[in-house]
Amino acid sequence: MPRMKKTQKRSREGESSVEPHPSNHPLAKWFHANEDLIFYELRLAGHKEIPPREKYYPELTSIAYATLGIQSDSQNPSNFSMVFKLGRNLYRVHCDTLGRIWNLPLEGCPFKGGKIPLDDWGYDKMRAMQMFNLTQNEKSKIPCQTMNDEYRTLLYLVTYVLEPRVFGHGNVADEDLVLMWAMVNEIKINWPFLILHHNLRIKGKDISGGIGYLCLWTRIFNYLGIDVSNKNVKHLNACCEINDATLHHMGRGKEEEAPPMAFRGHPVPQVQVKNNHP
């Protein structure tokens, strides 16, 4: 006769007793052993599920990226559409739809990035370098080591998230300076417009520039109802998150307190210095 599994529990006297199998439990048919069901009830039932990390499709994204283009109104650059091909199908997504899919604001300057003079922003490269405590070296590069921790965090956000690139994160490019200047001075930017043009700039250089915004591409595929059932899928992992380990990698310790950033229209909080002398 086969031996049946029994769940043991300790009584108050220290003796073991057998937990009766809850055969009338609504989930009993899904568990082979009684202890598995009890473990579920005690440890797992009612716990909040952890959502899977966002998916992306490397091959499908590469194909769409290779055919990516922008159709824009010459009289009104803010009125634009994203276009790309998959096989024989041509897809077009208007800027209003992009803003909703990506949950990004469309109001603001249609800034393309790159070395473009922005007199209407009051932007001046030398003033921006002074603001962020930057100096140009003999190789005409602007290293970021002299920036304080707050501005280093802002630069990290620009070069890894807003305008991602594969290499050169230790140097501040001209477009990095412009974006940081805009954010510190609270200048609105049309983010979908910038994202598309940044993709085109990378694409125009060479493939080593990488493909950014993978999860944003996935949202486009989902919105258009593109069949991804037989496509290779990957998930973003923890290394893609900005967390304590990221800040530590940037040389920012928890015990350090960097001076707060000054935003236009918001004065820097004054630090009160205690005077210990009578």
Dist. CA 75–CA 45, nearest whole Å? 59
* Residue 16: per-residue pLDDT: 42
Q: Spell out the residues 6+ positions from residue 108 whose beta carbon is closer than 8 angstroms to its own.
A: 187, 188, 189, 190, 191
| Claim: this prediction has a pTM higher than 0.85 | no
Q: Is 4 left (phi over 0), alpha (psi -120 to 50) or beta?
A: beta
Question: Which uninterrupted H or E stretch holds 85?
Answer: strand 80-86
Q: Are 30 and 23 in contact (CB under 8 A)?
A: no
* Residue 247: per-residue pLDDT: 59
* Residue 83: per-residue pLDDT: 95
* Residue 221: per-residue pLDDT: 94
* Residue 93: per-residue pLDDT: 96
pLDDT tens digit at each of 278 positions of the chain? 444 444 444 444 444 444 544 566 666 666 666 776 676 666 555 555 455 567 888 888 888 888 899 998 888 888 999 999 998 899 999 999 999 999 998 988 888 876 555 666 778 889 889 999 999 888 888 999 888 888 888 888 888 888 888 778 888 988 899 899 888 888 888 999 999 988 888 776 654 456 778 889 999 999 999 988 887 787 766 555 555 666 565 555 544 444 454 444 444 444 343 444 44
Dist. CA 225–CA 135, nearest whole Å? 49
192 HSE (CA, 13 A, CB side):
26
